[in-house]
Amino acid sequence: TEISRDQDGLFIALRMLFDKPFKTRSTVLLRDSKKRKLIETIASTFKIDPSKAGEPFHGKSVHELKLNTNSRSDVLCYLVDGIPFIFEVESTLFPTVFFLTFLPNILKTFYTSESVLERIYHGAGLMLPGVFKDGPFAENFTDLCKGSVCAVASLSGSSDSVQTSKAVAVGLLAMSSADFQSSGGKGVFVTVLHTARDRLTELCSPHQRAQFALTETTPFLDKVSGLLPLQLNLPTEIDKDEADDFPLSDSETTAGNDQTELLMNCFLHGLSMLSAGDFPLPANVFYAKHMKNSNPSGAQLDIKKTAYKKVGVFLEKMAAEGYITLEVEKPGIIILTSVCQNNPRLDEFTAQPETVATCSPKKSNFCVEEYYFGPPVMEEVRIITSAVAPFFAAAGFGKGDAITQAEIHQLVSAYVDSRRLRNSDNKSTIKLDKLLMNVCDPNLLTEAPTSTLAQPSFQITYQNLITSLTRGLKVVYRLTFPSESGLQSRLTTGNKRPKLSLLETKVNGKDVVSFLF
C-alpha cells in the first residue's frame, strides 16, 4: 500500500492524526453488502486472502465514522463492535494497532528500542538512528518505497532474552531505498500517523482496550545478540522545522549538561530516601515527590533541559544501568518496583547536607507535592448494580463499577448489532434474547408480531432498553486525573456535583490555579 501523489506535502498534513481531540461528523451502521465490500478492499489493499481478512469481522457489527481531525484532515474510520480497526485518509487504508493484533504480517514492520517509544507517543516521527537495521532486520531495507504504509514495534530485554512488542504505531515510510542509501544514517524514517496511545484508541472503552493486551511482549525468535545492548545512544535529532524554531545557544547547551548532572544527583538522592513500603511507585510521582524535592540549595531541576527530555526515557536508562526495576502497568504508566541496592554507585553516593526538600506546599488532591500535572476531567457516571451486572460482564464491568452513559449506549449498540436483534422493519425496535429478558423491566416489553402461545417472544424499543439498564443506577461524579500523576480516580459520595475551591499557587516559579476537592 503506498501513497504516490504529493508525498512530501501529504506527510506534513497527516503527521500524528489523532494526537488531539477530533470531531465525529456522522456514524452509520454498514449493511452486509458494504461490509463485504470493505473486507474485499482490505484483502486487495494488503494482498491477503479475503477469508482471512474477514475473520476479525465475523459476526460483528461495523460502523463507519466520518471524522474531522484537529489538523482538518477528513478521515473515515471503521469500528468493529465499537473498536477502531481501519481508517482511511486520502483514499488510502491504514490498519490500527488493534487490527494488527489479528493480522500482524500485512505490513512491513520496523523495530526500535523501547526507550524511543515515549518520543513517538508524544508526536515525534521515527528517526533513522533509532531503527534496528542490521542482522535479521536488514531484509526490511532492501526494497523501500516512500509513502508505503508500515508498522513500528519495539525490542527490549537482554542478549539472552529478547522481547518484541506488538505493533504500537502505524505510519508512512519517509524514505525510498535511494533516500536511505544517501541519508548517512540520519533523518525521519517513518512519519507516524497513529499510535497505541492516541485519541483514536479512546473510541473504545478501557475494558475493550485491555482485551488486546497491547503492552504484552513475546520472545523474539531471530538471533540479535550482536546488536545488543538494546538501549540505544540516540542523538536528540528532531525535524529541521522544529530545530529552526528552537535554536540552542552555547549557554543553553552548557545549562543542559548541568541539568543532566543535577538530574542524576537528584535521582540518586531520591533513591536513598525510599523504603520497601514505598513500592510500587508511579514514575512521575517519584520524580515529583522524591527527585524535585532533592535539589541542592538554589538549583532548579527541569527535565526538559536535560539530555533525556522525558522522565520515562531517563528512568528506562537507569533501569538498563541496573539502578532500578520498572514495569509498565498500562500504556503511559511506568511503575518503579524496586531499587537494586547492590549497584556500586548507590553504595558510593552520600547525600549532600544542603540537599533538602525546598518546599512544603498545601496538600491538594490535584497535585503530587508541588508538581501539578494538569486539571482532572469531571464526568457523570452510574454505578452498576447486581440486577444489570450480567449484561455488562462481557465487557469487563462488574457490580459496583462506574460506567458513563456513552459507554452504556456503545455497549448496547454493539451487543444488539452483533446478535442481529434489531427489527428489520423498524431499527428502533429490539428483539429480546434470554439475557435481555432477564435485565429488562417487564413493564416496558411488548409482544413481538411473531409471538405464539407455544413460543412467546417479546420486543422493546431501543430507548426503553437503555431505560431498563440505567433505571435505579446511582448517579455520581468521577474525577479522572492525568495518567502521569499516578493519582487514582475519585467518585463523589452523593448525586450532587462536587464543590471545587480555587487556590492560586506557584509551581516551578509560575502562577497556577489549583483546585481543591
- Sheet with 92-95: list strands edge to edge: 23-29, 62-68, 74-80, 83-89, 92-95
Distance CA 180, CA 146 (A): 10
SS3 5: coil
Out of 51-65, 414-428, 442-456, give the one with best mean pLDDT. Answer: 51-65
- Map out the domains of the chain as residue ranges: 7-227, 248-358, 382-474
pLDDT of residue 5: 44
Which CA distances in Å does 340 have to 160, 261, 272, 325, 434? 20, 21, 11, 7, 55
Correct CATH for 248-358 of 1.10.10.2030, 1.20.1250.20, 2.60.40.1080, 3.20.20.70: 1.10.10.2030
- Evaluate whether 281 touches 360 at the Cβ level (below 8 Å): no
- Evaluate whether 137 touches 226 at the Cβ level (below 8 Å): no
Q: Name the nearest CA neighbour of 231 among 137, 311, 115, 110.
A: 115
- Evaluate whether 446 touches 460 at the Cβ level (below 8 Å): yes
SS3 296: coil
Q: Name the nearest CA neighbour of 97 among 243, 190, 212.
A: 212
Distance CA 431, CA 437 (A): 10
- Evaluate whether 460 touches 440 at the Cβ level (below 8 Å): yes
Confidence of residue 235 (pLDDT cuts 50, 70, 90): very low
pLDDT of residue 98: 96
Please, how many CA atoms are within 13 Å of residue 434, restricted to the half-sphere of its CB?
0
Neighbours of 447 (CB within 10 A): 10
pLDDT of residue 308: 82
Q: At a CB cut-off of 8 Å and minimum separation 6, what does 34 contact?
A: 64
Distance CA 105, CA 93 (A): 15
Cell output for 39? 473486507
Task: Provide mean pLDDT across the span 303-323.
Answer: 82
Cell output for 325? 526495576
- Evaluate whether 131 touches 111 at the Cβ level (below 8 Å): yes
Which CA distances in Å does 305 have to 297, 308, 374? 19, 8, 20
Q: Name the nearest CA neighbour of 487 among 339, 407, 396, 372.
A: 372
Helices 250-272 + 311-320 axis angle, to 10: 60
DSSP E strand boundaries for 6-71: 23-29, 62-68
pLDDT of residue 242: 38
| Mean pLDDT, rounded, of the chain | 79
Out of 109-123, 238-252, 343-357, give the one with best mean pLDDT. Answer: 109-123
- Evaluate whether 171 touches 194 at the Cβ level (below 8 Å): yes
Phi then psi dihedrals of residue 211, to 5 deg: -65, -25
Say which residue the cell 492516541 belongs to: 198
pLDDT of residue 333: 74
SS3 333: strand
78: region left, alpha or beta (phi > 0 left; psi from -120 to 50 alpha): beta
Using the predicted structure, report yes or no on whether residue 466 has a pLDDT greater than 80. Answer: yes
- Evaluate whether 488 touches 400 at the Cβ level (below 8 Å): no
Please give the CATH topology (third level) of the domain spanning 7-227: Sulfate adenylyltransferase (3.10.400)
Using the predicted structure, report yes or no on whether residue 316 has a pLDDT greater than 80. Answer: yes
Phi then psi dihedrals of residue 473, to 5 deg: -80, 130
Neighbours of 466 (CB within 10 A): 16
User: How far out from the chain centre does Cα 337 lie?
Assistant: 22
pLDDT of residue 148: 92
Q: At a CB cut-off of 8 Å and minimum separation 6, what does 3 contact?
A: 10, 90, 92, 147, 148, 172
Task: Provide mean pLDDT across the span 315-328.
Answer: 84
% the chain with pLDDT above 90: 25
Lowest mean pLDDT among 5-14, 315-324, 494-503: 5-14
Distance CA 147, CA 128 (A): 16
Distance CA 325, CA 335 (A): 9
Using the predicted structure, report yes or no on whether residue 283 has a pLDDT greater than 60. Answer: yes
Confidence of residue 206 (pLDDT cuts 50, 70, 90): confident
Tell the CATH superfamily of the 382-474 domain. Answer: SWIB/MDM2 domain (1.10.245.10)
Neighbours of 450 (CB within 10 A): 10
**What digits encode the pLDDT tens for the residues 2-25?**
444 444 544 544 678 888 888 888
Using the predicted structure, report yes or no on whether residue 364 has a pLDDT greater than 60. Answer: no
In degrees, rounded to 5, the angle at the alpha carbon of residue 476 between the alpha carbons of residues 475 and 479 is 145
Out of 20-24, 113-117, 132-136, 443-447, give the one with best mean pLDDT. Answer: 443-447
Phi then psi dihedrals of residue 472, to 5 deg: 85, -5
The residues with which 172 forms a beta bridge, in sequence order, are 149, 191
Distance CA 93, CA 64 (A): 13
- Evaluate whether 279 touches 329 at the Cβ level (below 8 Å): no
Read off the DSSP letter of residue 2.
Answer: B
Using the predicted structure, report yes or no on whether residue 337 has a pLDDT greater than 80. Answer: yes
Using the predicted structure, report yes or no on whether residue 88 has a pLDDT greater than 90. Answer: yes
- Evaluate whether 331 touches 215 at the Cβ level (below 8 Å): yes
Distance CA 99, CA 154 (A): 18
pLDDT of residue 264: 86
Lowest mean pLDDT among 88-102, 203-217, 328-342, 418-432: 328-342
Distance CA 178, CA 197 (A): 32
pLDDT of residue 352: 45
